[in-house]
Structure 1
Amino acid sequence: MTPAAKASTEYLEELSILLRNQGFTVYPRESRDIDVEYDGGVLCRINELGNLGYFAEKITGKETVLDRIRETARSTREYMTLLEQAPPLKADGLEDGYQLLAEFNGAVLAGHKTRYGAQFITWEWVHNKTSLWQGHYYGPDRLPDSYKSAKRDFAVRSGLLLSSALFTQDQLTEIYRSIHETLDSEYPLTDERRNLLESAAGQIEDSVPDLDDRVYLSNQKELDAPCGGGMKLS
C-alpha cells in the first residue's frame, strides 16, 4: 500500500470510529468510501478527502445532523493530516508513537494514534527540554471534541490565550439558553440586537457538539427542581 493510500485508509478508519461513537452506523465500501446511516437509512457518503455526497431529498429535516457529520469529517481530516506530517516527539521516558503537533512557550501539543482512535496530550517541558510533565489527556473516548479541547488547553497553557477569555461548555450552554429565552420572549428587540444574538447562538452551536443534549439536561434540572420553571423545548 502506498503512503497516500495508507493515510486515506487511516483517515476513514478514524472517522468511522468517531461517527460510531456519536451513534451513527458506518459501512465501509469497496471504493474505500464510507456510508453513514442515520434514522434507518443512508444519510451520506464520505470519501477519502472528507467530501460528503448525499441526495438532497433525503436530508430534509436532517440538515443539523449532516452539518455535525461534515464538521467531524473536516476536523478529523485536519488532525490526521497533521499527525501524518508532524515530527516524532522525543523525551525521556516517553515511548515511541507520539507526534509533535505544536510547541510554544514551553508548552507542547502532541498526538498519538491508537486502535481506539487518536489521543491528544498537552505537556510542559522541564529539565532543559528533555522531559515532559503534567500531561492533560484528551481521548480516545466518546467525546467528539477531544482534538478541539486539546487545542484550547494548549492555547491556555502556552499563554497564547488567557483562560479568562474562554468559556467552558457548561457556560456556553447557559449563555445559549439565555439567548433563546430573550429571542423567544415578547421583549422588544432592535434588528441589530436580534442579529447579534442570533449570530452568537450560531457560534455556540458550532462550538459545542452535544449542545442539544446539554440544553435538555440543563432544562430538565430546572424542571425537576422544587421551584423550577425551566424553559420548555418543543
Structure 2
Amino acid sequence: MSEKYYKELARILAKNEIETAPPEKNTLPILLNGNSVCRVEPSGDVCIFPNDVRSPEADELYHRVAPFSRMVKEYMTAIERAPLLKATALDEDYKLLTEFNSTVLAGRETEHGYMFVTWERDYEGTGVIYGGYYLDAYEAAKQDFAVRAGLIQNQRLFSNDQLLNIYQSINNTFEAGYELTQEDEKILSGIQEQIEDILPDANERIATIRQKALDAIQGQTM
C-alpha cells in the first residue's frame, strides 16, 4: 500500500509544483532545490530527519505538503475499504464512500487519476442521477456531497477566491496600522491561520494575483 500511496502522492504533489525524490527508508522525500526538507511516512504524517535542510522556505514547504499527504491517504484508504456502489445502469464500478439523505459520494481509480462523483438516488432508490464529477478534486467532491445531502448550508461556504480576499483584507488591516485591541488581533490572526490550513500557499497565490494585475496594467500603458 505504501508504494502505491507514494506514487499517487508524488503525482498530486507534482501537479502542485512540489518536487519529490524516489521513496527511501520507507518514506517519500520532499525536495526543495534538490535537497530533502521533510519526508512523508506511510501513515500520511510528515516528518523531519536530522539531515533534512532547515530554512523558512523549508518550513513553509512542510506545511504545504501536510494537507496533501493527509488528503491522499484519506481517499486511497477510503476507496480501498469501501464496498461497491450498488446502482443500476452504471458504466463503471464505483466504490461507495458514503451515503446520506439519498445523496451518494463514490470514487474510483482511473488511468488519469482518482474520480469522485456525487449522485442523488432515483425515485426507486435503485439507480443514481444528476452526477457531479470531480477528477483529482476530492475535497471539492466532499464539499458538494455535504451541501447536496443537507449536511451544511451552501451560504456558509467560501470559495478560494473569497478566502484569499478575506486573508488579504486582514493583511491590509494590519499593515494600515489601525488601533486594534489584543483580542481583535488574536481573532484576525486566528482567521488567517484557519485560511492557511485550507490554502497553505495563500501568500503565494496573492503574490501571483498581484503580479498578473501589475503585468496587465503595464501592458495597457505600453
Q: TM-score, normalised by structure 2?
A: 0.87
SS, match of residue 206 in structure 1: helix
SS, match of residue 152 in structure 1: helix
SS, match of residue 21 in structure 2: strand
Partner of 2:16: 22
Cα pair 2:79 2:97 within 8 Å, conserved: yes
Is it true that 1:117 corresponds to 2:113 in the alignment? yes
Partner of 1:4: none
Cα pair 2:63 2:200 within 8 Å, conserved: no
Aligned residues: 215
Q: Which amino acid aligns with 1:28?
A: P
Distance across 2 between alignment mates of 1:123 and 1:155: 12
Deviation at 1:220, TM superposition (A): 3.9
Gaps of at least 5 residues in structure 2 are: 218-222
Partner of 1:154: 145
Distance across 1 between alignment mates of 2:126 and 2:42: 37
Q: 52-61 or 159-168: which moved more?
A: 52-61
Deviation at 1:171, TM superposition (A): 0.8
Identity %: 38
Q: 123-132 or 25-34: which moved more?
A: 25-34
Cα pair 1:121 1:150 within 8 Å, conserved: yes
SS, match of residue 174 in structure 1: helix
Gaps of at least 5 residues in structure 1 are: 1-6, 141-145, 227-234
Cα pair 1:59 1:66 within 8 Å, conserved: no
Cα deviation per residue 1:131-177 (whole Å; 9 max; x = unaligned)?
Answer: 2222212223xxxxx21111111111111111111111111111111
Partner of 2:220: none
Partner of 1:3: none
Cα deviation per residue 1:168-223 (whole Å; 9 max; x = unaligned)?
Answer: 11111111110110012111000000000000011111112552343124434654
Partner of 2:135: 139
Is it true that 1:197 corresponds to 2:192 in the alignment? no
Partner of 1:212: 203
Is it true that 1:78 corresponds to 2:69 in the alignment? no
Is it true that 1:43 corresponds to 2:34 in the alignment? no
Partner of 2:55: 60
Distance across 1 between alignment mates of 2:213 and 2:24: 49
Q: CA RMSD in A?
A: 2.1
Distance across 2 between alignment mates of 1:32 and 1:174: 40
Deviation at 1:40, TM superposition (A): 2.2
Go from structure 1 to structure 2 and tell me whether the alpha carbon gap of 1:60 and 1:106 turns closer, same or farther (over 3 Å shift).
Answer: same
Q: TM-score, normalised by structure 1?
A: 0.83
